[in-house]
Amino acid sequence: MAVWGERFQKQIGHINPMRGSDAITPLPQSPHVERNGMRLHSAFQPIISVVHSKIVGHEALLRGHSQDAVPMHPAEMFPRLAERCTPEEIHELCSRLHLQTFSYLNNDGWLFLNVNPDSIVNRRHVRDNFGRWLRESGLTPSRVVVEIIETRACDARTLTEAVEGFRDLGCLVAIDDFGAGESNFERVWSLQPDIVKLDRAMITEAVTNPLVNRILPGLVSLVHEVGCLVVMEGIETEHQAMIAVESDVDFVQGYYFSRPEVQPGDGAHIVDVFDALSAAMEVNEAERNANSRSYISHYVERFYACIDALMLGDSLETGCWDFVHLEGIQRIYELNEQGFQIGRNLESKARTIQDERYRPCADGRGANWSRRPYFKRAVATPGRVQVSRPYLSIADARSCVTISMAFQEKGKLRVLCADIDHPASHSNLESGARFSAIVRR
Protein backbone atom coordinates (compact mmCIF):
# COMPACT_ATOMS: atom_id res chain seq x y z
CA MET A 1 0.00 0.00 0.00
CA ALA A 2 2.80 2.41 0.90
CA VAL A 3 4.62 1.99 -2.40
CA TRP A 4 1.39 2.27 -4.36
CA GLY A 5 0.43 5.37 -2.41
CA GLU A 6 3.81 7.02 -2.87
CA ARG A 7 3.75 6.47 -6.60
CA PHE A 8 0.25 7.88 -6.88
CA GLN A 9 1.03 10.83 -4.61
CA LYS A 10 3.93 11.79 -6.82
CA GLN A 11 1.69 11.57 -9.82
CA ILE A 12 -0.95 13.90 -8.36
CA GLY A 13 1.06 15.99 -5.91
CA HIS A 14 0.39 19.18 -7.90
CA ILE A 15 -3.35 18.81 -7.32
CA ASN A 16 -3.04 19.68 -3.61
CA PRO A 17 -4.04 23.36 -4.07
CA MET A 18 -7.65 22.12 -4.35
CA ARG A 19 -9.79 22.52 -1.23
CA GLY A 20 -8.61 20.15 1.45
CA SER A 21 -11.67 17.90 1.25
CA ASP A 22 -11.15 17.59 -2.51
CA ALA A 23 -7.57 16.35 -2.37
CA ILE A 24 -7.27 13.01 -4.15
CA THR A 25 -6.18 10.40 -1.62
CA PRO A 26 -4.68 6.99 -2.43
CA LEU A 27 -6.47 3.83 -1.33
CA PRO A 28 -5.32 0.24 -1.64
CA GLN A 29 -7.75 -0.17 -4.53
CA SER A 30 -7.70 3.24 -6.19
CA PRO A 31 -7.32 6.98 -5.58
CA HIS A 32 -10.37 8.81 -4.32
CA VAL A 33 -11.76 12.18 -3.32
CA GLU A 34 -13.29 12.90 0.08
CA ARG A 35 -16.34 15.10 -0.33
CA ASN A 36 -19.56 15.72 1.64
CA GLY A 37 -19.17 12.56 3.68
CA MET A 38 -18.47 10.44 0.61
CA ARG A 39 -15.46 8.73 -0.86
CA LEU A 40 -15.52 9.22 -4.61
CA HIS A 41 -13.38 7.35 -7.11
CA SER A 42 -13.17 6.54 -10.80
CA ALA A 43 -14.27 3.39 -12.56
CA PHE A 44 -13.68 2.66 -16.23
CA GLN A 45 -15.85 0.74 -18.69
CA PRO A 46 -14.17 -0.52 -21.88
CA ILE A 47 -15.17 0.72 -25.31
CA ILE A 48 -14.38 -1.94 -27.90
CA SER A 49 -13.66 -1.79 -31.62
CA VAL A 50 -15.82 -4.32 -33.45
CA VAL A 51 -13.41 -4.90 -36.33
CA HIS A 52 -10.36 -5.17 -34.07
CA SER A 53 -12.11 -7.18 -31.32
CA LYS A 54 -10.12 -5.24 -28.75
CA ILE A 55 -10.45 -2.41 -26.25
CA VAL A 56 -9.64 0.99 -27.74
CA GLY A 57 -10.80 3.21 -24.88
CA HIS A 58 -12.58 3.50 -21.55
CA GLU A 59 -15.41 5.69 -20.33
CA ALA A 60 -14.74 7.22 -16.92
CA LEU A 61 -17.59 6.86 -14.43
CA LEU A 62 -17.84 8.33 -10.94
CA ARG A 63 -18.42 5.84 -8.13
CA GLY A 64 -18.79 6.49 -4.43
CA HIS A 65 -19.09 4.99 -0.96
CA SER A 66 -20.42 6.38 2.25
CA GLN A 67 -18.06 6.76 5.22
CA ASP A 68 -19.01 3.29 6.42
CA ALA A 69 -17.99 1.84 3.02
CA VAL A 70 -21.53 1.27 1.71
CA PRO A 71 -21.70 1.72 -2.10
CA MET A 72 -23.84 4.65 -3.18
CA HIS A 73 -26.07 4.87 -6.25
CA PRO A 74 -25.29 7.82 -8.56
CA ALA A 75 -28.89 8.99 -8.09
CA GLU A 76 -28.03 9.57 -4.43
CA MET A 77 -24.42 10.59 -4.90
CA PHE A 78 -24.79 13.50 -7.33
CA PRO A 79 -27.63 15.27 -5.46
CA ARG A 80 -25.52 15.15 -2.32
CA LEU A 81 -22.61 16.67 -4.23
CA ALA A 82 -24.90 19.37 -5.59
CA GLU A 83 -25.88 20.42 -2.05
CA ARG A 84 -22.52 22.15 -1.62
CA CYS A 85 -21.01 22.24 -5.09
CA THR A 86 -21.86 24.24 -8.19
CA PRO A 87 -22.02 22.45 -11.57
CA GLU A 88 -18.64 23.96 -12.39
CA GLU A 89 -17.11 22.55 -9.18
CA ILE A 90 -18.57 19.10 -9.80
CA HIS A 91 -17.26 19.20 -13.36
CA GLU A 92 -13.78 20.11 -12.10
CA LEU A 93 -13.81 17.47 -9.38
CA CYS A 94 -14.86 14.66 -11.74
CA SER A 95 -12.64 15.70 -14.63
CA ARG A 96 -9.49 16.01 -12.55
CA LEU A 97 -10.15 12.79 -10.70
CA HIS A 98 -10.73 10.83 -13.92
CA LEU A 99 -7.78 12.37 -15.78
CA GLN A 100 -5.36 11.81 -12.92
CA THR A 101 -6.54 8.26 -12.26
CA PHE A 102 -6.46 7.23 -15.91
CA SER A 103 -2.99 8.69 -16.31
CA TYR A 104 -1.70 6.93 -13.23
CA LEU A 105 -3.12 3.57 -14.30
CA ASN A 106 -1.32 4.09 -17.61
CA ASN A 107 -4.21 2.69 -19.65
CA ASP A 108 -3.85 2.54 -23.39
CA GLY A 109 -6.33 4.10 -25.78
CA TRP A 110 -8.87 6.86 -25.32
CA LEU A 111 -10.36 8.22 -22.14
CA PHE A 112 -14.03 9.12 -22.65
CA LEU A 113 -15.03 11.95 -20.30
CA ASN A 114 -18.62 13.11 -19.77
CA VAL A 115 -19.00 16.89 -19.82
CA ASN A 116 -22.17 18.82 -19.09
CA PRO A 117 -22.00 22.00 -21.20
CA ASP A 118 -23.99 23.82 -18.52
CA SER A 119 -20.74 23.84 -16.55
CA ILE A 120 -18.83 25.48 -19.40
CA VAL A 121 -18.67 29.28 -19.47
CA ASN A 122 -17.02 29.86 -22.84
CA ARG A 123 -14.30 28.70 -25.21
CA ARG A 124 -11.56 30.40 -23.21
CA HIS A 125 -12.83 28.72 -20.03
CA VAL A 126 -12.36 25.33 -21.67
CA ARG A 127 -8.87 26.13 -22.93
CA ASP A 128 -7.63 27.65 -19.69
CA ASN A 129 -9.19 25.27 -17.16
CA PHE A 130 -9.61 21.93 -18.92
CA GLY A 131 -6.30 22.53 -20.65
CA ARG A 132 -4.60 23.01 -17.28
CA TRP A 133 -6.18 19.81 -15.93
CA LEU A 134 -4.88 17.93 -18.96
CA ARG A 135 -1.36 19.25 -18.43
CA GLU A 136 -1.53 18.30 -14.76
CA SER A 137 -2.51 14.75 -15.61
CA GLY A 138 0.16 14.33 -18.26
CA LEU A 139 -2.36 12.88 -20.73
CA THR A 140 -1.98 13.83 -24.38
CA PRO A 141 -5.13 15.71 -25.50
CA SER A 142 -5.54 13.39 -28.50
CA ARG A 143 -6.19 10.54 -26.06
CA VAL A 144 -9.20 12.28 -24.53
CA VAL A 145 -12.69 12.01 -26.03
CA VAL A 146 -15.00 14.60 -24.52
CA GLU A 147 -18.60 13.35 -24.42
CA ILE A 148 -20.99 16.27 -24.61
CA ILE A 149 -24.06 15.56 -22.49
CA GLU A 150 -26.75 17.77 -23.95
CA THR A 151 -29.44 19.42 -21.86
CA ARG A 152 -32.43 21.59 -22.69
CA ALA A 153 -30.90 24.40 -20.66
CA CYS A 154 -27.83 24.46 -22.88
CA ASP A 155 -28.14 26.88 -25.79
CA ALA A 156 -26.55 26.34 -29.19
CA ARG A 157 -23.93 29.04 -28.65
CA THR A 158 -22.70 27.49 -25.39
CA LEU A 159 -22.55 24.08 -27.04
CA THR A 160 -20.57 25.41 -29.99
CA GLU A 161 -18.21 27.30 -27.65
CA ALA A 162 -17.57 24.14 -25.67
CA VAL A 163 -16.88 22.00 -28.73
CA GLU A 164 -14.54 24.60 -30.26
CA GLY A 165 -12.68 24.91 -26.98
CA PHE A 166 -12.06 21.18 -26.70
CA ARG A 167 -10.99 21.04 -30.33
CA ASP A 168 -8.53 23.87 -29.73
CA LEU A 169 -6.87 21.68 -27.13
CA GLY A 170 -6.64 18.73 -29.53
CA CYS A 171 -9.28 16.52 -27.92
CA LEU A 172 -11.80 14.46 -29.84
CA VAL A 173 -15.47 15.35 -29.36
CA ALA A 174 -18.38 12.94 -29.02
CA ILE A 175 -22.11 13.58 -28.76
CA ASP A 176 -23.67 11.36 -26.13
CA ASP A 177 -27.17 9.84 -26.09
CA PHE A 178 -27.88 10.50 -29.77
CA GLY A 179 -31.54 9.94 -30.55
CA ALA A 180 -32.76 11.06 -27.13
CA GLY A 181 -33.81 14.51 -25.98
CA GLU A 182 -31.95 17.32 -27.72
CA SER A 183 -29.36 15.10 -29.35
CA ASN A 184 -30.36 14.70 -32.99
CA PHE A 185 -29.08 15.18 -36.55
CA GLU A 186 -29.35 18.95 -36.26
CA ARG A 187 -26.80 18.79 -33.44
CA VAL A 188 -24.57 16.47 -35.46
CA TRP A 189 -24.62 18.73 -38.51
CA SER A 190 -23.94 21.86 -36.50
CA LEU A 191 -21.29 20.48 -34.13
CA GLN A 192 -19.67 17.93 -36.47
CA PRO A 193 -18.41 15.67 -33.68
CA ASP A 194 -15.80 13.00 -34.25
CA ILE A 195 -17.86 10.29 -32.56
CA VAL A 196 -21.59 9.77 -31.96
CA LYS A 197 -22.79 7.56 -29.11
CA LEU A 198 -26.26 6.16 -29.76
CA ASP A 199 -28.67 6.30 -26.86
CA ARG A 200 -28.97 2.95 -25.09
CA ALA A 201 -32.75 3.05 -25.57
CA MET A 202 -32.17 2.31 -29.27
CA ILE A 203 -30.60 -1.09 -28.71
CA THR A 204 -33.18 -1.95 -26.05
CA GLU A 205 -36.03 -1.03 -28.39
CA ALA A 206 -34.47 -2.83 -31.37
CA VAL A 207 -34.74 -6.15 -29.55
CA THR A 208 -38.55 -6.01 -29.39
CA ASN A 209 -39.47 -3.52 -32.12
CA PRO A 210 -38.85 -4.83 -35.69
CA LEU A 211 -39.18 -1.31 -37.09
CA VAL A 212 -36.29 -0.02 -34.97
CA ASN A 213 -34.31 -3.15 -35.84
CA ARG A 214 -34.79 -2.46 -39.55
CA ILE A 215 -33.89 1.23 -39.49
CA LEU A 216 -30.87 0.99 -37.19
CA PRO A 217 -28.36 0.08 -39.97
CA GLY A 218 -29.64 3.01 -42.04
CA LEU A 219 -29.28 5.35 -39.09
CA VAL A 220 -25.69 4.24 -38.51
CA SER A 221 -24.99 4.69 -42.24
CA LEU A 222 -26.32 8.26 -42.12
CA VAL A 223 -24.09 9.10 -39.15
CA HIS A 224 -21.13 7.63 -41.05
CA GLU A 225 -22.01 9.80 -44.07
CA VAL A 226 -21.75 12.88 -41.84
CA GLY A 227 -18.19 11.79 -41.03
CA CYS A 228 -18.64 10.42 -37.50
CA LEU A 229 -17.68 7.10 -35.95
CA VAL A 230 -20.47 5.37 -34.02
CA VAL A 231 -20.58 3.82 -30.54
CA MET A 232 -23.48 1.62 -29.45
CA GLU A 233 -23.66 1.65 -25.66
CA GLY A 234 -25.83 -0.23 -23.19
CA ILE A 235 -25.28 -3.70 -24.70
CA GLU A 236 -26.17 -6.29 -22.09
CA THR A 237 -27.12 -9.45 -24.03
CA GLU A 238 -25.88 -11.53 -26.95
CA HIS A 239 -28.97 -10.57 -28.95
CA GLN A 240 -28.25 -6.87 -28.48
CA ALA A 241 -24.61 -7.43 -29.43
CA MET A 242 -25.69 -9.14 -32.67
CA ILE A 243 -27.98 -6.26 -33.58
CA ALA A 244 -25.21 -3.75 -32.91
CA VAL A 245 -22.65 -5.60 -35.03
CA GLU A 246 -25.15 -6.14 -37.88
CA SER A 247 -25.93 -2.42 -37.78
CA ASP A 248 -22.25 -1.75 -38.62
CA VAL A 249 -21.41 0.35 -35.57
CA ASP A 250 -17.70 0.96 -35.04
CA PHE A 251 -17.53 0.53 -31.27
CA VAL A 252 -19.58 -1.26 -28.63
CA GLN A 253 -19.90 -0.77 -24.88
CA GLY A 254 -21.88 -2.55 -22.19
CA TYR A 255 -22.08 -5.24 -19.54
CA TYR A 256 -22.14 -8.00 -22.17
CA PHE A 257 -18.51 -7.22 -22.96
CA SER A 258 -17.25 -5.85 -19.65
CA ARG A 259 -18.44 -4.08 -16.53
CA PRO A 260 -16.81 -0.90 -15.20
CA GLU A 261 -13.68 -1.63 -13.18
CA VAL A 262 -11.52 0.46 -10.88
CA GLN A 263 -8.40 -1.06 -12.42
CA PRO A 264 -9.31 -2.32 -15.92
CA GLY A 265 -7.79 -5.55 -17.14
CA ASP A 266 -5.98 -6.10 -20.41
CA GLY A 267 -9.17 -7.16 -22.22
CA ALA A 268 -7.80 -10.55 -23.26
CA HIS A 269 -11.27 -12.06 -22.81
CA ILE A 270 -12.72 -9.76 -25.50
CA VAL A 271 -11.37 -11.97 -28.29
CA ASP A 272 -13.19 -14.99 -26.85
CA VAL A 273 -16.39 -12.97 -26.51
CA PHE A 274 -16.25 -11.95 -30.17
CA ASP A 275 -15.36 -15.46 -31.32
CA ALA A 276 -18.46 -16.82 -29.60
CA LEU A 277 -20.55 -13.94 -30.93
CA SER A 278 -19.34 -14.49 -34.50
CA ALA A 279 -20.13 -18.18 -34.33
CA ALA A 280 -23.65 -17.47 -33.09
CA MET A 281 -24.16 -14.85 -35.80
CA GLU A 282 -23.09 -17.27 -38.54
CA VAL A 283 -25.69 -19.78 -37.37
CA ASN A 284 -28.38 -17.09 -37.22
CA GLU A 285 -27.43 -15.79 -40.66
CA ALA A 286 -27.67 -19.25 -42.19
CA GLU A 287 -31.07 -19.78 -40.60
CA ARG A 288 -32.32 -16.38 -41.75
CA ASN A 289 -31.21 -16.95 -45.32
CA ALA A 290 -32.78 -20.42 -45.38
CA ASN A 291 -36.05 -19.05 -44.00
CA SER A 292 -35.97 -16.10 -46.38
CA ARG A 293 -35.49 -18.36 -49.37
CA SER A 294 -38.29 -20.63 -48.18
CA TYR A 295 -40.62 -17.65 -47.75
CA ILE A 296 -39.89 -16.25 -51.22
CA SER A 297 -39.75 -19.60 -53.05
CA HIS A 298 -43.40 -20.12 -52.06
CA TYR A 299 -44.24 -17.48 -54.67
CA VAL A 300 -41.53 -17.96 -57.29
CA GLU A 301 -42.92 -20.88 -59.33
CA ARG A 302 -46.30 -19.18 -59.59
CA PHE A 303 -44.55 -15.97 -60.53
CA TYR A 304 -42.87 -17.84 -63.40
CA ALA A 305 -46.33 -19.03 -64.49
CA CYS A 306 -47.43 -15.39 -64.69
CA ILE A 307 -44.51 -14.57 -66.98
CA ASP A 308 -45.24 -17.59 -69.19
CA ALA A 309 -48.83 -16.39 -69.55
CA LEU A 310 -47.74 -12.86 -70.47
CA MET A 311 -45.28 -14.18 -73.06
CA LEU A 312 -48.14 -16.13 -74.63
CA GLY A 313 -50.16 -12.94 -74.95
CA ASP A 314 -52.39 -12.96 -71.88
CA SER A 315 -53.21 -9.66 -70.21
CA LEU A 316 -51.82 -8.84 -66.78
CA GLU A 317 -55.22 -9.41 -65.18
CA THR A 318 -55.85 -12.74 -66.91
CA GLY A 319 -52.33 -14.17 -66.66
CA CYS A 320 -51.76 -13.16 -63.03
CA TRP A 321 -55.27 -13.59 -61.60
CA ASP A 322 -54.45 -16.68 -59.53
CA PHE A 323 -51.14 -15.26 -58.37
CA VAL A 324 -52.53 -11.97 -57.09
CA HIS A 325 -55.01 -13.88 -54.94
CA LEU A 326 -52.31 -15.71 -53.03
CA GLU A 327 -52.09 -14.81 -49.36
CA GLY A 328 -49.38 -12.23 -48.79
CA ILE A 329 -49.46 -10.66 -52.26
CA GLN A 330 -50.00 -6.91 -52.29
CA ARG A 331 -49.96 -6.14 -56.00
CA ILE A 332 -48.41 -7.04 -59.33
CA TYR A 333 -47.45 -4.65 -62.15
CA GLU A 334 -45.46 -4.47 -65.37
CA LEU A 335 -42.67 -2.08 -66.42
CA ASN A 336 -41.20 -1.26 -69.82
CA GLU A 337 -37.49 -1.33 -70.59
CA GLN A 338 -37.08 2.27 -69.36
CA GLY A 339 -38.66 1.46 -66.00
CA PHE A 340 -42.02 3.17 -66.60
CA GLN A 341 -45.10 1.30 -65.40
CA ILE A 342 -47.44 -0.03 -68.05
CA GLY A 343 -51.06 0.26 -66.93
CA ARG A 344 -52.49 0.05 -63.45
CA ASN A 345 -51.46 -2.11 -60.52
CA LEU A 346 -53.31 -5.40 -60.29
CA GLU A 347 -54.20 -5.23 -56.60
CA SER A 348 -54.93 -8.20 -54.37
CA LYS A 349 -58.68 -8.67 -54.07
CA ALA A 350 -58.10 -9.96 -50.55
CA ARG A 351 -57.18 -6.42 -49.62
CA THR A 352 -60.76 -5.25 -49.43
CA ILE A 353 -60.07 -2.31 -47.10
CA GLN A 354 -57.76 0.25 -48.66
CA ASP A 355 -56.20 3.06 -46.65
CA GLU A 356 -57.81 6.10 -48.24
CA ARG A 357 -55.09 8.37 -46.87
CA TYR A 358 -52.64 7.08 -49.50
CA ARG A 359 -55.01 7.15 -52.48
CA PRO A 360 -52.99 9.89 -54.29
CA CYS A 361 -50.09 7.39 -54.59
CA ALA A 362 -52.16 4.26 -55.28
CA ASP A 363 -52.34 4.56 -59.08
CA GLY A 364 -48.99 3.49 -60.51
CA ARG A 365 -49.69 4.14 -64.19
CA GLY A 366 -46.73 5.87 -65.81
CA ALA A 367 -44.69 5.84 -62.58
CA ASN A 368 -40.93 5.72 -63.11
CA TRP A 369 -39.35 2.85 -61.14
CA SER A 370 -36.06 2.89 -63.05
CA ARG A 371 -34.04 3.87 -59.97
CA ARG A 372 -35.28 0.95 -57.92
CA PRO A 373 -32.67 -1.81 -57.41
CA TYR A 374 -35.18 -4.54 -58.28
CA PHE A 375 -35.60 -2.98 -61.75
CA LYS A 376 -31.88 -2.42 -62.34
CA ARG A 377 -30.95 -5.96 -61.36
CA ALA A 378 -33.78 -7.44 -63.43
CA VAL A 379 -32.76 -5.72 -66.71
CA ALA A 380 -29.11 -6.57 -66.02
CA THR A 381 -29.88 -10.31 -65.77
CA PRO A 382 -33.01 -11.18 -67.80
CA GLY A 383 -34.62 -14.52 -66.96
CA ARG A 384 -33.62 -14.44 -63.29
CA VAL A 385 -35.99 -13.62 -60.46
CA GLN A 386 -34.65 -10.80 -58.33
CA VAL A 387 -35.58 -10.21 -54.70
CA SER A 388 -35.36 -6.77 -53.09
CA ARG A 389 -34.49 -5.97 -49.54
CA PRO A 390 -37.45 -4.96 -47.36
CA TYR A 391 -38.63 -1.41 -47.98
CA LEU A 392 -41.71 0.79 -47.59
CA SER A 393 -44.07 0.83 -50.58
CA ILE A 394 -45.17 4.31 -51.64
CA ALA A 395 -48.50 2.88 -52.77
CA ASP A 396 -49.81 2.38 -49.25
CA ALA A 397 -46.86 2.82 -46.86
CA ARG A 398 -46.70 -0.91 -46.14
CA SER A 399 -43.48 -2.81 -45.67
CA CYS A 400 -42.82 -5.22 -48.53
CA VAL A 401 -40.26 -7.06 -50.62
CA THR A 402 -40.47 -7.01 -54.41
CA ILE A 403 -39.74 -9.94 -56.70
CA SER A 404 -39.04 -9.02 -60.31
CA MET A 405 -37.87 -10.55 -63.58
CA ALA A 406 -37.08 -9.17 -67.04
CA PHE A 407 -38.43 -11.07 -70.06
CA GLN A 408 -39.25 -10.56 -73.74
CA GLU A 409 -42.86 -9.82 -74.68
CA LYS A 410 -43.58 -9.37 -78.40
CA GLY A 411 -39.95 -8.48 -79.01
CA LYS A 412 -39.80 -5.88 -76.24
CA LEU A 413 -38.12 -6.10 -72.87
CA ARG A 414 -40.56 -6.04 -69.99
CA VAL A 415 -40.12 -6.38 -66.23
CA LEU A 416 -42.82 -8.02 -64.12
CA CYS A 417 -42.86 -6.97 -60.45
CA ALA A 418 -44.81 -8.28 -57.49
CA ASP A 419 -44.91 -6.65 -54.04
CA ILE A 420 -45.19 -9.19 -51.23
CA ASP A 421 -46.15 -8.58 -47.62
CA HIS A 422 -43.30 -8.11 -45.23
CA PRO A 423 -45.11 -7.97 -41.88
CA ALA A 424 -43.26 -7.56 -38.59
CA SER A 425 -44.05 -11.19 -37.80
CA HIS A 426 -41.61 -12.28 -40.52
CA SER A 427 -38.62 -11.66 -38.27
CA ASN A 428 -36.56 -13.95 -40.49
CA LEU A 429 -36.49 -11.15 -43.02
CA GLU A 430 -35.90 -8.24 -40.68
CA SER A 431 -32.19 -8.20 -41.24
CA GLY A 432 -32.03 -10.97 -43.79
CA ALA A 433 -32.90 -11.05 -47.49
CA ARG A 434 -29.23 -10.59 -48.28
CA PHE A 435 -29.55 -12.75 -51.38
CA SER A 436 -30.40 -10.85 -54.56
CA ALA A 437 -31.50 -13.55 -56.98
CA ILE A 438 -33.07 -16.97 -57.22
CA VAL A 439 -31.49 -19.28 -59.79
CA ARG A 440 -32.93 -19.33 -63.30
CA ARG A 441 -35.24 -22.21 -64.14
Q: How confident is the model at residue 427 (pLDDT cuts 50, 70, 90)?
A: very low
298 and 226 housed in the same domain = no
Amino acid at 217: P
Domain assignment present for residue 282? The answer is: no
Domain assignment present for residue 284? The answer is: no
3-state SS of the chain?
A: CHHHHHHHHHHHHHHCCCCHHHCEECCCCCCEEEECCEEEEEEEEEEEECCCCEEEEEEEEEEEEECCCCEECHHHHHHHHHCCCCHHHHHHHHHHHHHHHHHHHCCCCEEEEEECHHHCCCHHHHHHHHHHHHHHHCCCHHHEEEEECCCCCCCHHHHHHHHHHHHHHCCEEEEEEECCCCCCHHHHHHHCCCEEEECHHHHHHHHHCHHHHHHHHHHHHHHHHHCCEEEECCCCCHHHHHHHHHCCCCEECCCCCCCCECCCCCCCHHHHHHHHHHHHHHHHHHHHHHHHHHHHHHHHHHHHHHHHHHHCCCCHHHHCHHHHCCCCEEEEEEEECCCEEEEEEEECCCCCCCCHHHHHHCCCCCCECCCCHHHHHHHHCCCCEEECCCEECCCCCCEEEEEEEEEEECCEEEEEEEEEECCCCCHHHCCCCCCCEECCC
Mean of pLDDT values over 374-383 = 96
Highest mean pLDDT among 23-37, 89-103, 152-166, 345-359: 89-103
258 and 371 housed in the same domain = no
Structure-model confidence comparison of residues 253 and 214, the more confident one? 253
The count of structural domains within the chain is 2
Domain assignment present for residue 208? The answer is: yes
Residue 434 sits in a domain whose CATH number is: 3.30.450.20
107 and 162 housed in the same domain = yes
Highest mean pLDDT among 99-103, 152-156, 300-304, 338-342: 338-342
Instruction: Examine the pLDDT at 430 and tell me if it is beyond 50.
Output: no
CB atoms < 10 A from the CB of 154, how many? 18
338 and 251 housed in the same domain = no
Boundaries of domain holding 358: 290-438
431 and 295 housed in the same domain = yes
224 and 367 housed in the same domain = no
Domain assignment present for residue 285? The answer is: no
Domain assignment present for residue 40? The answer is: yes
47 and 98 housed in the same domain = yes
Q: How confident is the model at residue 104 (pLDDT cuts 50, 70, 90)?
A: confident
Residue 39 sits in a domain whose CATH number is: 3.20.20.450
320 and 237 housed in the same domain = no
Q: Encode pLDDT of 404-418 as tens digits.
A: 999 998 889 999 999
Residue 285 has a pLDDT of 83
Structure-model confidence comparison of residues 4 and 435, the more confident one? 435
208 and 354 housed in the same domain = no
Mean of pLDDT values over 323-341 = 95
* 213 burial via Cβ count (<10 Å: 0-12, 13-18, 19+): buried
Domain assignment present for residue 280? The answer is: no
Q: What does R_g of the chain's alpha carbons equal in angstroms?
A: 29
74 and 170 housed in the same domain = yes
Instruction: Examine the pLDDT at 437 and tell me if it is beyond 60.
Output: no
Domain assignment present for residue 423? The answer is: yes
46 and 150 housed in the same domain = yes
Percent of the chain with pLDDT over 90: 52
Q: How confident is the model at residue 150 (pLDDT cuts 50, 70, 90)?
A: low
Domain assignment present for residue 26? The answer is: yes
Structure-model confidence comparison of residues 421 and 251, the more confident one? 251
190 and 329 housed in the same domain = no
Q: How confident is the model at residue 87 (pLDDT cuts 50, 70, 90)?
A: confident
